[in-house]
Amino acid sequence: MRVRAQVLGGYPRPRHVRRALRAAERGEADWTSVSRALEAASAAVIGVQVASGLDVVVDGLLDWHDIFRPFASMWRNVTPTALLRYFDNNFFYRIPLFTAEPEPTEPVLAPRARTYAPLAEPARLKAIVPGPVTFALMSEVRGGLKREELAEAIARLLAEEARLAVEAGAGFLQIDEPILGDPEVGEDEARLAADLASEIASKSGAPESMVAVYFYPPDRRVYEALASARVDYVMVDMVDASGRGLDVVAEAGPARRGVAAGLIDARSIYRDRYERVRDAAARLAKALSDGMDLILTTSTWLDLIPYSYSVKKTRLLGLYAERIAEDLGVEFTGGWGVG
């Protein structure tokens, strides 16, 4: 068994990026200065992750206003519209409005993979897509399109997005399905999500893939459906709902290649207690067989806390993963041969 660490998703924007964006939006600066600020800030968050011993890193997704926006803005037949609360956060996303089946234009993920994958070495860059079921259920749909058909259409586009991102250098694929933590999500939605995640992952050709469920843990049936998908890991939020996600995963067992445990609280600025994280990791380790991985990760994206704390949480994640590997007497993949 190996212990690995990775941040789940996007980072908050540092001040200089917020300012550059605001200036460009007001017409007081050109978008070249925004691009420069974004590239510098993305390089910085990649550097923090690599230095913290994370073997898979994200570019921070600093230009994304919400998880759906880049796709809703780029595809035909979909437009970002009014604001709506994003799960239980004091954060709002723009509801994508689909008027017909979406059609691709330019790729969203591939250009960033091309830019940032080389900066991530020796780690690998992760490509992140919204899960098609979450995307479809959190959108407004007009024109007689059924939700399931929409989810399938979204999945086809995301599979191509992911394939191009992998071709451009991404080494890990993450499919976010936070809506599957909703207690009212049924087995039908879970099975659909599993089928579509399988399709995206297999068509992408990504060396590793993961479905992520956060903000609330999935119930056992939903988790089992996802764990049976053709993805390598299912990430579960083990912080919210009093850590109930830990019970679900420890009892139901890992996905194909291991477990991704959201044990570092990405929505609070408390320093997570090492003992809590270690004990949970030790419990999960018992469910893993030789050759499997325990991926320690954040309970959700880090973009819901201030930038300075996102850096601290990243550092903590790497530190704890390394200590847990030591305590369990197993390999930590992010050591980079140092020490």
Partner 1 sequence: MASYQVPRKFPTTVVGSYPKLGPAEEAIRRRKKGEISEEEFHRIARDAIKMVVEDYLWAGVDIISDGEQTREDMVVYFAERLEGYSPGDWVRVFDNVYFRKPVVTGRISWRQPMIIDDWEYARSISGGRPVKVILTGPYTMLEWSFDLHYGDRREMIFDLAKAIRREIEEAVARGAEYVQVDEPALSTRPFREEAELLKEALEIVFNGIPAKRIVHICFGRLERILPYILDYPVDQFDLEMKNSNFRLLPYLKEYGFDKELGFGVVDVHSFQVESVEEIKAAIDMLMKADIIGPEKVYIDPDCGLKRLPREIARQKLRNMVEAARLAREEW
Q: Between residue 162 and residue 191, which ones bind partner 1 under the rule CB under 8 A? A: 183-184
Q: Which is nearer to partner 1, 257 or 312 (CB)?
A: 312
Q: Out of 5, 38, 42, 94, which residue is the one contacting partner 1 (CB under 8 A)?
A: 94
Element (H, E) at 227: helix 220-227
Q: Are 189 and 133 within 8 A, CB to CB?
A: yes
The distance of closest approach from Cβ of residue 14 to partner 1 in the complex, given in angstroms and rounded to an integer, is 9
How many angstroms from the chain centroid is the CA of residue 289?
A: 25
Q: Are 245 and 212 within 8 A, CB to CB?
A: no
The distance of closest approach from Cβ of residue 285 to partner 1 in the complex, given in angstroms and rounded to an integer, is 28
Q: Which stretch binds partner 1 (CB under 8 A): 11-19, 100-108, 148-156, 158-166?
A: 11-19
Burial label for 280, CB within 10 Å (0-12, 13-18, 19+), is: buried
Is 274 among the residues that bind partner 1 (CB under 8 A)?
A: no
Q: Which stretch binds partner 1 (CB under 8 A): 12-20, 291-299, 311-319, 321-329?
A: 12-20
Q: Please give the Cα distance from 44 to 66 (Å, whole number).
A: 21
Q: Out of 91, 111, 335, 336, which residue is the one contacting partner 1 (CB under 8 A)?
A: 91
Element (H, E) at 140: strand 140-141
Q: What does each C-alpha distance from 259 to 52, 248, 271, 285 come to in angstroms?
A: 20, 12, 23, 9
The distance of closest approach from Cβ of residue 12 to partner 1 in the complex, given in angstroms and rounded to an integer, is 7
Residue 33 phi, psi (nearest 5): -65, -30
Q: Which stretch binds partner 1 (CB under 8 A): 37-45, 119-127, 146-154, 303-311?
A: 303-311
Q: Out of 6, 7, 8, 13, which residue is the one contacting partner 1 (CB under 8 A)?
A: 13
Q: Out of 1, 7, 21, 266, which residue is the one contacting partner 1 (CB under 8 A)?
A: 21
Nearest to 29 by CA among 37, 20, 40: 20
Nearest to 296 by CA among 52, 124, 128, 121: 52
Q: Are 233 and 212 within 8 A, CB to CB?
A: no
Is 65 among the residues that bind partner 1 (CB under 8 A)?
A: yes
Is 268 among the residues that bind partner 1 (CB under 8 A)?
A: yes
Q: Which is nearer to partner 1, 25 or 149 (CB)?
A: 25
Give the other-Cβ count within 10 Å of 23's Cβ. Answer: 15
Q: Between residue 106 and residue 165, which ones bind partner 1 under the rule CB under 8 A? A: none
Rounded to a whole number of angstroms, the distance between the first and last alpha carbons of the chain is 20
> Which SS3 state, helix, strand or coil, does residue 71 take?
helix
Percent of the chain as helix, strand, coil, to the nearest 5: 45, 20, 35
Q: Out of 307, 314, 318, 332, which residue is the one contacting partner 1 (CB under 8 A)?
A: 307
Q: Which stretch binds partner 1 (CB under 8 A): 50-58, 173-181, 203-211, 306-314?
A: 306-314
Alpha helices per DSSP H over 253-306: 274-285
Nearest to 302 by CA among 4, 123, 49, 82: 49
Q: Which is nearer to partner 1, 77 or 268 (CB)?
A: 268
How many residues bind partner 1, per CB under 8 A? 33
Is 88 among the residues that bind partner 1 (CB under 8 A)?
A: yes
Is 22 among the residues that bind partner 1 (CB under 8 A)?
A: yes
The distance of closest approach from Cβ of residue 237 to partner 1 in the complex, given in angstroms and rounded to an integer, is 13
- Looking at the chain, how many residues does it have? 339
Q: Out of 45, 185, 305, 317, which residue is the one contacting partner 1 (CB under 8 A)?
A: 305
The distance of closest approach from Cβ of residue 304 to partner 1 in the complex, given in angstroms and rounded to an integer, is 7
Is 36 among the residues that bind partner 1 (CB under 8 A)?
A: no
Interface residues with partner 1 (CB under 8 A)?
12-13, 15, 18, 21-22, 25, 65-66, 82-85, 87-94, 183-184, 268-270, 303-309
